[in-house]
Structure 1
Amino acid sequence: MTKLHLHLLSDSTGETLEMIAKAALSQFEGVDVERHFWPMVRSHQHLDRIMSEITQFPGLVIFTLVNQEIRVSLEAACAEAKMATVSALDAVTTCLSRVLGQEQLHRPGRQHQMDDAYFRRVEAIQFTIAHDDGLLWEEWEESDIILAGVSRTSKTPTAIYLANRGFRCANIPIVPQSPPPPALFRLKRPMVVGLTTSPDRLVQVRRNRLLSLNQAPETDYVQKDMVEDEVRYARRMFADNNWPVIDVTRRSIEETAAAVINLHNERRIERTGPKPV
Protein backbone atom coordinates (compact mmCIF):
# COMPACT_ATOMS: atom_id res chain seq x y z
CA MET A 1 0.00 0.00 0.00
CA THR A 2 1.48 3.33 -1.09
CA LYS A 3 0.89 6.31 1.21
CA LEU A 4 0.13 9.64 -0.45
CA HIS A 5 -0.50 13.00 1.19
CA LEU A 6 -2.56 14.97 -1.30
CA HIS A 7 -2.79 18.73 -0.70
CA LEU A 8 -5.64 20.52 -2.51
CA LEU A 9 -5.03 24.28 -2.47
CA SER A 10 -7.38 26.79 -4.05
CA ASP A 11 -8.11 30.50 -4.06
CA SER A 12 -11.79 29.60 -4.29
CA THR A 13 -13.97 26.88 -2.75
CA GLY A 14 -11.89 24.02 -4.17
CA GLU A 15 -14.83 22.16 -5.69
CA THR A 16 -13.08 21.74 -9.04
CA LEU A 17 -9.92 20.47 -7.36
CA GLU A 18 -11.78 17.81 -5.43
CA MET A 19 -13.58 16.49 -8.51
CA ILE A 20 -10.39 16.35 -10.58
CA ALA A 21 -8.39 14.70 -7.80
CA LYS A 22 -11.09 12.11 -7.13
CA ALA A 23 -11.44 11.19 -10.80
CA ALA A 24 -7.67 10.95 -11.30
CA LEU A 25 -7.02 8.90 -8.16
CA SER A 26 -9.65 6.38 -9.22
CA GLN A 27 -7.20 5.25 -11.90
CA PHE A 28 -4.70 3.92 -9.32
CA GLU A 29 -4.84 0.93 -6.98
CA GLY A 30 -3.17 0.21 -3.67
CA VAL A 31 -2.94 3.87 -2.60
CA ASP A 32 -3.69 5.11 0.91
CA VAL A 33 -4.59 8.76 0.29
CA GLU A 34 -4.85 11.40 3.00
CA ARG A 35 -6.37 14.63 1.67
CA HIS A 36 -5.47 18.02 3.08
CA PHE A 37 -7.92 20.69 1.91
CA TRP A 38 -6.89 24.35 1.83
CA PRO A 39 -9.59 26.60 0.28
CA MET A 40 -9.75 30.39 -0.15
CA VAL A 41 -5.96 30.95 -0.20
CA ARG A 42 -5.80 34.53 -1.47
CA SER A 43 -2.89 36.14 0.35
CA HIS A 44 0.77 35.51 1.09
CA GLN A 45 -0.04 35.62 4.80
CA HIS A 46 -2.55 32.78 4.44
CA LEU A 47 -0.10 30.76 2.35
CA ASP A 48 2.65 31.26 4.91
CA ARG A 49 0.36 30.00 7.70
CA ILE A 50 -0.45 26.74 5.98
CA MET A 51 2.92 25.95 4.38
CA SER A 52 4.33 24.73 7.70
CA GLU A 53 1.80 21.88 7.78
CA ILE A 54 1.96 21.21 4.04
CA THR A 55 5.71 20.64 4.24
CA GLN A 56 5.26 18.36 7.26
CA PHE A 57 3.58 15.86 4.95
CA PRO A 58 5.41 15.71 1.61
CA GLY A 59 3.36 14.45 -1.28
CA LEU A 60 1.55 16.14 -4.14
CA VAL A 61 0.14 19.68 -4.13
CA ILE A 62 -2.66 20.31 -6.63
CA PHE A 63 -3.69 23.92 -6.89
CA THR A 64 -5.79 26.52 -8.64
CA LEU A 65 -4.39 29.99 -8.05
CA VAL A 66 -5.18 33.04 -10.19
CA ASN A 67 -2.69 35.31 -8.43
CA GLN A 68 0.66 34.69 -10.15
CA GLU A 69 2.75 35.95 -7.22
CA ILE A 70 1.07 33.58 -4.77
CA ARG A 71 1.46 30.73 -7.25
CA VAL A 72 5.19 31.46 -7.63
CA SER A 73 5.56 31.56 -3.83
CA LEU A 74 3.77 28.23 -3.48
CA GLU A 75 5.86 26.56 -6.17
CA ALA A 76 9.09 27.94 -4.68
CA ALA A 77 8.22 26.75 -1.16
CA CYS A 78 7.25 23.32 -2.42
CA ALA A 79 10.38 23.06 -4.55
CA GLU A 80 12.50 23.85 -1.49
CA ALA A 81 10.68 21.06 0.37
CA LYS A 82 11.15 18.75 -2.64
CA MET A 83 7.40 18.41 -3.13
CA ALA A 84 5.68 18.02 -6.50
CA THR A 85 3.14 20.65 -7.57
CA VAL A 86 0.69 20.76 -10.45
CA SER A 87 -1.98 23.17 -11.58
CA ALA A 88 -5.44 21.62 -11.82
CA LEU A 89 -5.48 22.70 -15.46
CA ASP A 90 -2.32 20.69 -16.17
CA ALA A 91 -2.05 16.96 -16.64
CA VAL A 92 -3.05 15.89 -13.10
CA THR A 93 -3.22 12.21 -13.93
CA THR A 94 0.27 12.23 -15.48
CA CYS A 95 1.73 13.81 -12.36
CA LEU A 96 0.01 11.26 -10.10
CA SER A 97 1.46 8.48 -12.24
CA ARG A 98 4.96 9.85 -11.65
CA VAL A 99 4.50 10.46 -7.90
CA LEU A 100 2.91 7.05 -7.27
CA GLY A 101 5.13 5.09 -9.62
CA GLN A 102 2.15 3.48 -11.34
CA GLU A 103 0.55 3.44 -14.75
CA GLN A 104 -3.04 4.55 -14.68
CA LEU A 105 -5.60 1.78 -15.03
CA HIS A 106 -7.84 3.45 -17.62
CA ARG A 107 -10.96 2.24 -15.85
CA PRO A 108 -13.89 4.64 -16.05
CA GLY A 109 -16.22 5.27 -13.12
CA ARG A 110 -14.04 3.90 -10.32
CA GLN A 111 -14.34 7.23 -8.43
CA HIS A 112 -17.92 6.27 -7.57
CA GLN A 113 -16.99 3.27 -5.43
CA MET A 114 -18.31 3.32 -1.85
CA ASP A 115 -15.17 3.60 0.30
CA ASP A 116 -14.71 4.51 3.97
CA ALA A 117 -14.78 8.21 3.14
CA TYR A 118 -18.17 7.75 1.48
CA PHE A 119 -19.67 6.12 4.57
CA ARG A 120 -18.16 8.82 6.81
CA ARG A 121 -19.90 11.43 4.69
CA VAL A 122 -23.20 9.55 4.91
CA GLU A 123 -22.87 9.37 8.70
CA ALA A 124 -22.01 13.07 8.87
CA ILE A 125 -25.06 13.95 6.78
CA GLN A 126 -27.33 11.85 8.99
CA PHE A 127 -25.91 13.47 12.12
CA THR A 128 -26.26 16.96 10.65
CA ILE A 129 -29.88 16.49 9.61
CA ALA A 130 -30.76 15.10 13.04
CA HIS A 131 -29.15 18.10 14.76
CA ASP A 132 -30.67 20.85 12.64
CA ASP A 133 -32.22 23.97 14.14
CA GLY A 134 -31.15 23.34 17.74
CA LEU A 135 -32.36 19.73 17.96
CA LEU A 136 -30.72 17.12 20.22
CA TRP A 137 -28.49 19.65 21.96
CA GLU A 138 -27.51 16.94 24.46
CA GLU A 139 -25.36 15.41 21.69
CA TRP A 140 -23.65 18.59 20.51
CA GLU A 141 -20.34 17.54 22.05
CA GLU A 142 -20.13 14.88 19.31
CA SER A 143 -20.16 17.57 16.61
CA ASP A 144 -17.13 18.81 14.71
CA ILE A 145 -18.71 22.20 13.99
CA ILE A 146 -21.70 24.10 15.36
CA LEU A 147 -23.13 27.01 13.38
CA ALA A 148 -24.97 29.70 15.32
CA GLY A 149 -26.85 32.67 13.93
CA VAL A 150 -30.16 34.46 13.70
CA SER A 151 -32.87 33.13 11.40
CA ARG A 152 -32.08 33.08 7.64
CA THR A 153 -28.29 33.28 7.88
CA SER A 154 -27.89 30.07 5.83
CA LYS A 155 -27.08 27.83 8.78
CA THR A 156 -28.84 24.71 7.50
CA PRO A 157 -27.58 24.71 3.89
CA THR A 158 -24.05 25.51 5.08
CA ALA A 159 -24.20 22.67 7.61
CA ILE A 160 -25.43 20.23 4.95
CA TYR A 161 -22.66 21.33 2.59
CA LEU A 162 -20.07 20.77 5.34
CA ALA A 163 -21.60 17.37 6.10
CA ASN A 164 -21.01 16.42 2.47
CA ARG A 165 -17.35 17.14 3.20
CA GLY A 166 -17.43 14.76 6.16
CA PHE A 167 -17.97 17.24 9.03
CA ARG A 168 -20.53 16.40 11.70
CA CYS A 169 -22.46 19.64 12.13
CA ALA A 170 -25.20 21.03 14.31
CA ASN A 171 -26.79 24.44 14.07
CA ILE A 172 -28.82 26.63 16.40
CA PRO A 173 -30.88 29.76 15.82
CA ILE A 174 -30.01 32.70 18.04
CA VAL A 175 -33.26 34.24 19.27
CA PRO A 176 -33.19 37.00 21.93
CA GLN A 177 -36.51 35.84 23.40
CA SER A 178 -35.27 32.24 23.69
CA PRO A 179 -31.61 31.99 24.75
CA PRO A 180 -29.70 28.83 23.73
CA PRO A 181 -29.25 26.01 26.23
CA PRO A 182 -26.34 26.51 28.67
CA ALA A 183 -24.65 23.44 27.15
CA LEU A 184 -23.68 25.55 24.13
CA PHE A 185 -21.29 27.58 26.26
CA ARG A 186 -19.63 24.54 27.86
CA LEU A 187 -18.66 22.67 24.70
CA LYS A 188 -15.03 21.54 24.41
CA ARG A 189 -14.67 19.48 21.24
CA PRO A 190 -16.77 21.29 18.60
CA MET A 191 -15.83 24.59 17.02
CA VAL A 192 -18.69 27.07 17.32
CA VAL A 193 -18.89 29.56 14.44
CA GLY A 194 -21.19 32.56 14.39
CA LEU A 195 -22.88 33.45 11.11
CA THR A 196 -24.08 37.00 10.63
CA THR A 197 -25.31 39.24 7.84
CA SER A 198 -26.38 42.83 7.26
CA PRO A 199 -29.80 43.72 8.69
CA ASP A 200 -30.93 45.18 5.36
CA ARG A 201 -30.13 41.97 3.53
CA LEU A 202 -31.72 39.93 6.30
CA VAL A 203 -34.97 41.90 6.07
CA GLN A 204 -35.05 41.29 2.33
CA VAL A 205 -34.42 37.56 2.64
CA ARG A 206 -37.01 37.15 5.39
CA ARG A 207 -39.61 39.17 3.51
CA ASN A 208 -39.12 37.01 0.40
CA ARG A 209 -39.41 33.91 2.55
CA LEU A 210 -42.74 35.01 4.00
CA LEU A 211 -44.08 35.90 0.56
CA SER A 212 -43.08 32.49 -0.77
CA LEU A 213 -45.14 30.95 2.05
CA ASN A 214 -48.11 33.24 1.28
CA GLN A 215 -47.77 34.90 4.68
CA ALA A 216 -48.15 38.59 5.44
CA PRO A 217 -44.70 40.21 5.39
CA GLU A 218 -45.60 42.74 8.10
CA THR A 219 -44.43 41.21 11.36
CA ASP A 220 -41.63 41.80 13.88
CA TYR A 221 -39.73 39.14 11.95
CA VAL A 222 -39.06 41.64 9.15
CA GLN A 223 -39.15 44.96 11.03
CA LYS A 224 -35.77 46.59 10.57
CA ASP A 225 -35.43 47.80 14.17
CA MET A 226 -36.21 44.33 15.50
CA VAL A 227 -33.85 42.68 13.03
CA GLU A 228 -31.05 45.08 13.97
CA ASP A 229 -31.59 44.19 17.65
CA GLU A 230 -31.40 40.48 16.80
CA VAL A 231 -28.15 40.90 14.88
CA ARG A 232 -26.59 42.97 17.70
CA TYR A 233 -27.68 40.38 20.27
CA ALA A 234 -26.08 37.58 18.26
CA ARG A 235 -22.87 39.50 17.62
CA ARG A 236 -22.55 40.30 21.32
CA MET A 237 -22.95 36.61 22.15
CA PHE A 238 -20.28 35.66 19.60
CA ALA A 239 -17.86 38.24 21.00
CA ASP A 240 -18.52 37.33 24.65
CA ASN A 241 -17.66 33.70 23.90
CA ASN A 242 -14.75 34.46 21.56
CA TRP A 243 -16.37 32.52 18.71
CA PRO A 244 -15.15 33.22 15.17
CA VAL A 245 -17.66 35.10 13.04
CA ILE A 246 -18.35 34.89 9.30
CA ASP A 247 -20.39 37.56 7.53
CA VAL A 248 -22.48 35.74 4.93
CA THR A 249 -23.95 38.89 3.36
CA ARG A 250 -22.03 38.55 0.09
CA ARG A 251 -20.96 34.91 0.32
CA SER A 252 -22.34 31.88 -1.42
CA ILE A 253 -22.95 28.73 0.62
CA GLU A 254 -19.76 27.26 -0.85
CA GLU A 255 -17.70 30.30 0.15
CA THR A 256 -19.10 30.28 3.68
CA ALA A 257 -18.34 26.58 4.04
CA ALA A 258 -14.81 27.11 2.73
CA ALA A 259 -14.25 29.84 5.32
CA VAL A 260 -15.52 27.50 8.06
CA ILE A 261 -13.16 24.74 6.90
CA ASN A 262 -10.25 27.18 7.02
CA LEU A 263 -11.14 28.10 10.61
CA HIS A 264 -11.44 24.41 11.49
CA ASN A 265 -8.02 23.64 9.96
CA GLU A 266 -6.33 26.49 11.82
CA ARG A 267 -7.99 25.55 15.11
CA ARG A 268 -6.81 21.96 14.74
CA ILE A 269 -3.25 23.06 14.03
CA GLU A 270 -3.26 25.39 17.04
CA ARG A 271 -4.66 22.72 19.38
CA THR A 272 -2.90 19.55 18.27
CA GLY A 273 -0.20 20.55 15.81
CA PRO A 274 0.14 18.88 12.41
CA LYS A 275 -1.68 15.61 11.78
CA PRO A 276 0.36 12.49 12.58
CA VAL A 277 1.68 10.59 9.56
Structure 2
Amino acid sequence: MMESKHVVLHLVSPSSGELIDLLARSVLGQLENLNAERFVWNLVRSIERVNEVLAVIAETRGVVFHTLSEKTNRRALEEGCGVLDVPCLFVLEPFVSTLADHTGAVVRFRASPRDMMDEEYFRRLDAMRFTLAHDDGIGGHDIESAEVVLVGVSRVTKTPTCMYLAHRGVRAANVPLVPGMPVVDALSKTKKPLIVGLTMQPEYLVRIRAKRLTMLKQNPGDAYADLDVVRREVLDARRLFARNNWPVIDVTSQSIEQTSAMIMELLKVRQAQRV
Protein backbone atom coordinates (compact mmCIF):
# COMPACT_ATOMS: atom_id res chain seq x y z
CA MET A 1 0.00 0.00 0.00
CA MET A 2 1.32 3.42 -0.95
CA GLU A 3 2.23 5.68 1.92
CA SER A 4 -0.14 8.62 2.34
CA LYS A 5 1.37 12.03 1.61
CA HIS A 6 0.46 15.38 3.17
CA VAL A 7 0.39 18.89 1.76
CA VAL A 8 -0.60 22.31 3.06
CA LEU A 9 -2.62 24.37 0.58
CA HIS A 10 -3.10 28.11 0.88
CA LEU A 11 -6.05 29.25 -1.25
CA VAL A 12 -6.00 33.02 -1.61
CA SER A 13 -8.94 34.96 -3.05
CA PRO A 14 -10.07 38.59 -3.29
CA SER A 15 -13.69 37.49 -2.87
CA SER A 16 -15.48 34.61 -1.11
CA GLY A 17 -12.88 31.94 -1.93
CA GLU A 18 -15.55 29.50 -3.14
CA LEU A 19 -14.18 29.28 -6.68
CA ILE A 20 -10.59 28.51 -5.74
CA ASP A 21 -11.69 26.12 -2.98
CA LEU A 22 -13.87 24.19 -5.43
CA LEU A 23 -11.00 24.06 -7.93
CA ALA A 24 -8.59 22.82 -5.25
CA ARG A 25 -11.04 20.10 -4.20
CA SER A 26 -11.36 18.99 -7.82
CA VAL A 27 -7.57 18.83 -8.19
CA LEU A 28 -7.14 16.90 -4.94
CA GLY A 29 -9.74 14.42 -6.12
CA GLN A 30 -7.41 13.41 -8.96
CA LEU A 31 -4.50 12.55 -6.64
CA GLU A 32 -4.34 9.30 -4.68
CA ASN A 33 -3.12 9.04 -1.09
CA LEU A 34 -2.76 12.77 -0.69
CA ASN A 35 -4.13 14.45 2.42
CA ALA A 36 -4.42 18.23 2.26
CA GLU A 37 -4.73 20.82 4.98
CA ARG A 38 -6.47 23.77 3.34
CA PHE A 39 -6.22 27.38 4.45
CA VAL A 40 -8.84 29.46 2.61
CA TRP A 41 -7.96 33.16 2.65
CA ASN A 42 -10.86 35.30 1.42
CA LEU A 43 -11.30 39.05 0.93
CA VAL A 44 -7.57 39.54 0.30
CA ARG A 45 -7.77 43.04 -1.19
CA SER A 46 -4.95 45.00 0.45
CA ILE A 47 -1.20 44.78 0.99
CA GLU A 48 -1.84 44.49 4.73
CA ARG A 49 -4.01 41.43 4.16
CA VAL A 50 -1.42 39.93 1.80
CA ASN A 51 1.24 40.36 4.49
CA GLU A 52 -1.00 38.55 7.01
CA VAL A 53 -1.27 35.64 4.59
CA LEU A 54 2.48 35.58 3.93
CA ALA A 55 3.20 35.51 7.66
CA VAL A 56 1.22 32.29 8.04
CA ILE A 57 2.71 30.83 4.85
CA ALA A 58 6.17 31.44 6.30
CA GLU A 59 5.26 29.28 9.28
CA THR A 60 3.31 26.48 7.56
CA ARG A 61 4.98 26.42 4.12
CA GLY A 62 3.07 24.37 1.53
CA VAL A 63 1.69 25.41 -1.88
CA VAL A 64 -0.19 28.61 -2.74
CA PHE A 65 -3.05 28.84 -5.27
CA HIS A 66 -4.53 32.29 -5.78
CA THR A 67 -6.94 34.36 -7.88
CA LEU A 68 -5.55 37.83 -7.10
CA SER A 69 -5.94 39.79 -10.35
CA GLU A 70 -5.17 43.23 -8.92
CA LYS A 71 -1.55 43.91 -9.92
CA THR A 72 -0.12 45.27 -6.66
CA ASN A 73 -1.54 42.54 -4.44
CA ARG A 74 -0.70 39.80 -6.92
CA ARG A 75 2.90 40.97 -7.21
CA ALA A 76 3.28 41.22 -3.43
CA LEU A 77 1.97 37.69 -2.90
CA GLU A 78 4.00 36.11 -5.69
CA GLU A 79 7.21 37.93 -4.76
CA GLY A 80 6.72 37.06 -1.10
CA CYS A 81 6.26 33.39 -1.99
CA GLY A 82 9.38 33.61 -4.15
CA VAL A 83 11.42 34.88 -1.19
CA LEU A 84 9.99 32.06 0.96
CA ASP A 85 10.69 29.53 -1.82
CA VAL A 86 7.05 28.41 -1.75
CA PRO A 87 5.32 27.36 -5.01
CA CYS A 88 2.69 29.93 -6.01
CA LEU A 89 0.24 29.63 -8.91
CA PHE A 90 -2.22 32.16 -10.30
CA VAL A 91 -4.89 29.60 -11.19
CA LEU A 92 -6.73 31.75 -13.75
CA GLU A 93 -3.61 32.09 -15.92
CA PRO A 94 -3.92 28.93 -18.06
CA PHE A 95 -7.62 29.56 -18.74
CA VAL A 96 -7.16 33.23 -19.62
CA SER A 97 -4.04 32.64 -21.72
CA THR A 98 -5.58 29.79 -23.70
CA LEU A 99 -8.71 31.78 -24.54
CA ALA A 100 -6.73 34.92 -25.34
CA ASP A 101 -4.34 33.03 -27.64
CA HIS A 102 -7.21 31.27 -29.39
CA THR A 103 -9.45 34.31 -29.88
CA GLY A 104 -7.04 37.22 -29.93
CA ALA A 105 -9.05 38.91 -27.17
CA VAL A 106 -7.27 41.51 -25.06
CA VAL A 107 -6.60 40.46 -21.47
CA ARG A 108 -7.80 42.94 -18.85
CA PHE A 109 -7.64 41.51 -15.37
CA ARG A 110 -10.20 42.84 -12.91
CA ALA A 111 -9.58 43.18 -9.20
CA SER A 112 -12.64 41.08 -8.40
CA PRO A 113 -15.42 39.20 -10.23
CA ARG A 114 -17.77 41.70 -8.57
CA ASP A 115 -16.48 44.27 -11.06
CA MET A 116 -18.47 42.35 -13.68
CA MET A 117 -21.92 43.15 -12.33
CA ASP A 118 -23.75 42.08 -15.47
CA GLU A 119 -27.14 40.49 -16.02
CA GLU A 120 -25.88 37.09 -14.82
CA TYR A 121 -24.63 38.59 -11.55
CA PHE A 122 -28.01 40.12 -10.77
CA ARG A 123 -29.77 36.89 -11.78
CA ARG A 124 -27.72 34.99 -9.22
CA LEU A 125 -28.39 37.62 -6.60
CA ASP A 126 -32.14 37.35 -7.23
CA ALA A 127 -31.92 33.55 -7.04
CA MET A 128 -30.11 33.72 -3.70
CA ARG A 129 -32.74 36.01 -2.25
CA PHE A 130 -35.54 33.78 -3.51
CA THR A 131 -33.96 30.60 -2.17
CA LEU A 132 -33.33 32.07 1.27
CA ALA A 133 -36.98 33.14 1.41
CA HIS A 134 -38.22 29.69 0.35
CA ASP A 135 -36.17 27.36 2.52
CA ASP A 136 -37.73 24.45 4.40
CA GLY A 137 -41.29 25.08 3.21
CA ILE A 138 -41.28 28.83 3.86
CA GLY A 139 -43.00 31.06 1.28
CA GLY A 140 -45.23 28.33 -0.10
CA HIS A 141 -47.79 30.88 -1.30
CA ASP A 142 -45.64 31.83 -4.32
CA ILE A 143 -43.80 28.57 -4.92
CA GLU A 144 -44.98 28.83 -8.53
CA SER A 145 -42.26 31.46 -8.98
CA ALA A 146 -39.55 28.84 -8.39
CA GLU A 147 -37.69 27.17 -11.23
CA VAL A 148 -36.92 24.09 -9.13
CA VAL A 149 -38.58 22.67 -6.02
CA LEU A 150 -36.80 19.95 -4.03
CA VAL A 151 -38.93 17.63 -1.90
CA GLY A 152 -37.72 15.09 0.65
CA VAL A 153 -37.53 13.95 4.24
CA SER A 154 -35.27 15.65 6.76
CA ARG A 155 -31.48 15.68 6.16
CA VAL A 156 -31.40 14.61 2.52
CA THR A 157 -29.40 17.75 1.53
CA LYS A 158 -32.36 19.81 0.27
CA THR A 159 -31.13 23.15 1.65
CA PRO A 160 -27.44 22.96 0.61
CA THR A 161 -28.45 21.76 -2.85
CA CYS A 162 -30.86 24.69 -3.20
CA MET A 163 -28.14 27.09 -2.13
CA TYR A 164 -25.74 25.64 -4.69
CA LEU A 165 -28.38 25.95 -7.41
CA ALA A 166 -29.00 29.57 -6.38
CA HIS A 167 -25.30 30.29 -6.85
CA ARG A 168 -25.82 29.07 -10.41
CA GLY A 169 -28.71 31.49 -10.86
CA VAL A 170 -31.55 29.00 -10.35
CA ARG A 171 -34.52 30.07 -8.21
CA ALA A 172 -34.80 27.00 -5.99
CA ALA A 173 -37.19 26.20 -3.13
CA ASN A 174 -37.43 23.14 -0.92
CA VAL A 175 -40.31 21.48 0.89
CA PRO A 176 -39.77 19.04 3.79
CA LEU A 177 -41.80 15.87 4.22
CA VAL A 178 -42.65 15.59 7.91
CA PRO A 179 -44.33 12.44 9.33
CA GLY A 180 -47.94 13.12 10.30
CA MET A 181 -48.01 16.45 8.48
CA PRO A 182 -49.86 16.97 5.16
CA VAL A 183 -47.82 17.73 2.08
CA VAL A 184 -47.81 21.42 1.16
CA ASP A 185 -51.00 21.94 -0.86
CA ALA A 186 -49.27 24.24 -3.35
CA LEU A 187 -47.15 21.32 -4.62
CA SER A 188 -50.13 19.53 -6.13
CA LYS A 189 -51.28 22.69 -7.91
CA THR A 190 -48.00 24.08 -9.20
CA LYS A 191 -47.33 23.84 -12.92
CA LYS A 192 -44.20 25.85 -13.72
CA PRO A 193 -41.40 24.54 -11.43
CA LEU A 194 -39.48 21.34 -11.92
CA ILE A 195 -40.23 19.28 -8.80
CA VAL A 196 -37.53 16.76 -7.85
CA GLY A 197 -37.69 14.21 -5.07
CA LEU A 198 -34.49 13.64 -3.09
CA THR A 199 -34.00 10.36 -1.29
CA MET A 200 -31.27 8.52 0.61
CA GLN A 201 -30.58 5.00 1.80
CA PRO A 202 -32.19 4.69 5.28
CA GLU A 203 -29.09 3.24 6.95
CA TYR A 204 -26.98 6.16 5.80
CA LEU A 205 -29.68 8.68 6.69
CA VAL A 206 -29.90 7.27 10.23
CA ARG A 207 -26.19 7.91 10.79
CA ILE A 208 -26.55 11.51 9.59
CA ARG A 209 -29.56 12.14 11.83
CA ALA A 210 -27.93 10.52 14.86
CA LYS A 211 -24.88 12.73 14.39
CA ARG A 212 -27.16 15.75 14.14
CA LEU A 213 -28.92 14.82 17.41
CA THR A 214 -25.58 14.34 19.16
CA MET A 215 -24.39 17.73 17.95
CA LEU A 216 -27.57 19.29 19.37
CA LYS A 217 -26.98 17.36 22.62
CA GLN A 218 -30.17 15.37 22.19
CA ASN A 219 -30.75 11.64 22.52
CA PRO A 220 -29.36 9.91 19.40
CA GLY A 221 -31.80 7.05 20.09
CA ASP A 222 -34.75 9.33 19.37
CA ALA A 223 -37.37 8.18 16.82
CA TYR A 224 -35.91 10.79 14.46
CA ALA A 225 -32.89 8.48 14.02
CA ASP A 226 -34.66 5.13 14.49
CA LEU A 227 -34.00 2.85 11.52
CA ASP A 228 -37.54 1.45 11.26
CA VAL A 229 -39.06 4.94 11.47
CA VAL A 230 -36.66 6.28 8.87
CA ARG A 231 -37.37 3.36 6.54
CA ARG A 232 -41.10 4.19 6.67
CA GLU A 233 -40.39 7.87 6.02
CA VAL A 234 -38.24 7.10 2.99
CA LEU A 235 -40.76 4.58 1.63
CA ASP A 236 -43.67 7.02 2.04
CA ALA A 237 -41.64 9.71 0.31
CA ARG A 238 -40.86 7.42 -2.62
CA ARG A 239 -44.55 6.56 -2.95
CA LEU A 240 -45.40 10.26 -3.05
CA PHE A 241 -42.79 10.86 -5.75
CA ALA A 242 -44.16 7.95 -7.81
CA ARG A 243 -47.79 9.11 -7.51
CA ASN A 244 -46.84 12.53 -8.84
CA ASN A 245 -44.36 11.29 -11.45
CA TRP A 246 -41.62 13.46 -10.00
CA PRO A 247 -38.04 12.57 -10.98
CA VAL A 248 -36.07 11.10 -8.07
CA ILE A 249 -32.38 11.45 -7.20
CA ASP A 250 -30.74 9.16 -4.64
CA VAL A 251 -28.19 11.41 -2.93
CA THR A 252 -26.61 8.67 -0.79
CA SER A 253 -23.32 8.65 -2.66
CA GLN A 254 -23.64 12.03 -4.37
CA SER A 255 -21.90 15.28 -3.60
CA ILE A 256 -23.94 18.50 -3.58
CA GLU A 257 -22.25 19.43 -6.86
CA GLN A 258 -23.18 16.12 -8.49
CA THR A 259 -26.80 16.32 -7.35
CA SER A 260 -27.04 19.90 -8.58
CA ALA A 261 -25.56 18.96 -11.96
CA MET A 262 -28.21 16.25 -12.36
CA ILE A 263 -30.97 18.74 -11.48
CA MET A 264 -29.56 21.30 -13.93
CA GLU A 265 -29.64 18.66 -16.65
CA LEU A 266 -33.27 17.77 -15.80
CA LEU A 267 -34.12 21.47 -15.92
CA LYS A 268 -32.41 21.86 -19.30
CA VAL A 269 -34.36 18.93 -20.76
CA ARG A 270 -37.63 20.28 -19.35
CA GLN A 271 -36.99 23.75 -20.81
CA ALA A 272 -36.12 22.26 -24.22
CA GLN A 273 -39.38 20.28 -24.25
CA ARG A 274 -41.37 23.47 -23.65
CA VAL A 275 -39.82 25.36 -26.55
TM-score (norm 1): 0.63
Larger deviation, residues 181-190 vs 201-210: 181-190
TM-fit CA distance, 1:181: 2.1
Within a 5 Å distance, the mapping from 1:58-77 to structure 2 comes to none
TM-fit CA distance, 1:169: 0.9
Which residue in 1 is equivalent to 2:113?
111
**Letter matched to residue 161 of structure 1:** Y
Contact kept, 8 Å, 1:132 with 1:156, in 2: the verdict is: yes
Q: Is 1:263 the equivalent of 2:266?
A: yes
**Letter matched to residue 121 of structure 1:** R
TM-fit CA distance, 1:123: 1.3
| Identical positions, percent | 44
Which residue in 1 is equivalent to 2:73?
none
TM-fit CA distance, 1:266: 1.2
Larger deviation, residues 109-118 vs 246-255: 109-118
Contact kept, 8 Å, 1:149 with 1:172, in 2: the verdict is: yes
Which residue in 2 is equivalent to 1:128?
131
Q: Residue 264 of structure 1: SS of its match in structure 2?
A: helix
Contact kept, 8 Å, 2:175 with 2:184, in 1: the verdict is: no
Within a 5 Å distance, the mapping from 1:229-268 to structure 2 comes to 229-268=232-271
Deviation string 1:17-63 (CA, Å, 9 cap, x unpaired) is xxxxxx9xxxxxxxxxxxxxxxxxxxxxxxxxxxxxxxxxxxxxxxx
Deviation string 1:213-253 (CA, Å, 9 cap, x unpaired) is 00011221111111100000000111111111110001111
Contact kept, 8 Å, 1:146 with 1:192, in 2: the verdict is: yes
Q: Residue 159 of structure 1: SS of its match in structure 2?
A: helix
Structure 1 residues 94 and 186, CA gap change in structure 2 (3 angstroms): same
TM-fit CA distance, 1:103: 2.8
Q: Among 154, 163, 167, which residue is 2:166 paired with?
A: 163
Q: Among 218, 225, 228, which residue is 1:225 paired with?
A: 228
Between the aligned partners of 1:97 and 1:201, the Cα distance in structure 2 is 47
Q: Among 195, 199, 204, which residue is 1:196 paired with?
A: 199
Which residue in 2 is equivalent to 1:180?
183
Contact kept, 8 Å, 1:176 with 1:233, in 2: the verdict is: no
**Letter matched to residue 109 of structure 1:** A
Between the aligned partners of 1:188 and 1:150, the Cα distance in structure 2 is 22
Deviation string 1:43-84 (CA, Å, 9 cap, x unpaired) is xxxxxxxxxxxxxxxxxxxxxxxxxxxxxxxxxxxxxxxxxx
Q: Among 133, 140, 143, which residue is 1:140 paired with?
A: 143
Which residue in 1 is equivalent to 2:9?
none
**Letter matched to residue 184 of structure 2:** P
Between the aligned partners of 2:270 and 2:113, the Cα distance in structure 1 is 31
Between the aligned partners of 1:102 and 1:151, the Cα distance in structure 2 is 49
RMSD of aligned Cα (Å): 2.4
How many residue pairs get matched?
Answer: 189
Structure 1 or 2, whichever has the larger Rg, is 2
Which residue in 1 is equivalent to 2:10?
none
Between the aligned partners of 2:183 and 2:169, the Cα distance in structure 1 is 26
TM-fit CA distance, 1:187: 1.0
Deviation string 1:141-162 (CA, Å, 9 cap, x unpaired) is 0001000000000000110111
Between the aligned partners of 2:253 and 2:271, the Cα distance in structure 1 is 27
TM-fit CA distance, 1:89: 11
Between the aligned partners of 1:201 and 1:140, the Cα distance in structure 2 is 30
Between the aligned partners of 2:140 and 2:155, the Cα distance in structure 1 is 20
**Letter matched to residue 214 of structure 2:** L
Q: Which runs of 5+ in 2 are unaligned?
A: 1-21, 24-66, 68-90
Q: Among 200, 207, 211, which residue is 1:208 paired with?
A: 211
Within a 5 Å distance, the mapping from 1:32-71 to structure 2 comes to none
Q: Residue 238 of structure 1: SS of its match in structure 2?
A: helix
Deviation string 1:73-101 (CA, Å, 9 cap, x unpaired) is xxxxxxxxxxxxxxx99954355346655
Q: Which runs of 5+ in 1 are unaligned?
A: 1-14, 17-22, 24-87, 273-277
